[in-house]
Amino acid sequence: MSQARHYKYYDLVMAAFVAVLLCSNLIGVGKVCAVLGVSFGAGNLFFPISYVFGDVLTEVYGYARARKVIWAGFAALAFAAVMGLVVIHMPSDPRVPLNERLQPALELVFGYTWRVVIASMLAYWAGDFANSYVLSKMKLLTKGRFLWTRTIGSTIVGQGIDSLIFYPIAFWGIWPNDAIVRVVVFNWLFKVAVEVVLTPITYAVVYALKRAEKEDYYDWETNFTPFSLRD
């Protein structure tokens, strides 16, 4: 690995990635939308954006630095889950009238079962690492050409793993098996479609960052273990 250096925008991209990840999991997951007769979780509209950030991080800064960001997102999800649990179970002050209406709303929006929390965190962890790994390896194989093949190809793998882990763990035995299969397939295809639509934006951000940072990292000597925070 080359000597550590300072980047202008790496921290900002990390913050944007974690913000999108948290908002998608905390805000979007609680609502099911219906558009043209198709039902889907509202979080699916924005969660794929985190994969765009993941693509940008790996493409520009390399797998090892993207790995740090993935772990930062994992820690943020864990903290949000613990915080939600603590806030919901803290006794409400009966002298505050708003608490009588607020507590049921908090339980409804943030009172996820531990099964859903574990499924979400495992799916995110495995899916994002798979996305970053595939993109990095494809960059080596293509010698940096054909960016679209690796952004879309890595998303196909990463989002597929994410969906295959989350829905069975979270809803097996609760939803009918055929419903789980339909939701897994739909969400996988939907998220990949979002990645395809956002490809021009990904190109613009990647090339702008490469010019600004004077970096275009290739993981020739990278240790691809996910269990490290070293550059």
Lowest mean pLDDT among 66-80, 102-116, 122-136, 196-210: 102-116
pTM of the model: 0.92
Is CATH 1.10.1760 correct for 10-213?
yes
Residue 124: C-alpha distances to residues 33, 158, 172 (Å):
22, 9, 18
Query: For position 30, what pLDDT does the model report?
Result: 62
Beta-carbon contacts of 22 under 8 Å, excluding residues fewer than 6 positions away, are 76, 77, 80
pLDDT in tens, 45-63: 888 889 899 999 999 999 9
Look at residues 155, 148, 152 and name the one whose alpha carbon lies nearest to residue 204.
148
Token pair belonging to 202: 């990904």
Query: For position 110, what pLDDT does the model report?
Result: 80
Token pair belonging to 166: 């989350």
- Provide the mean pLDDT of the chain: 91
**Domain spans in the chain, listed from the N-terminal domain onward:** 10-213
pLDDT in tens, 12-45: 999 999 999 998 888 766 677 778 877 777 777 8
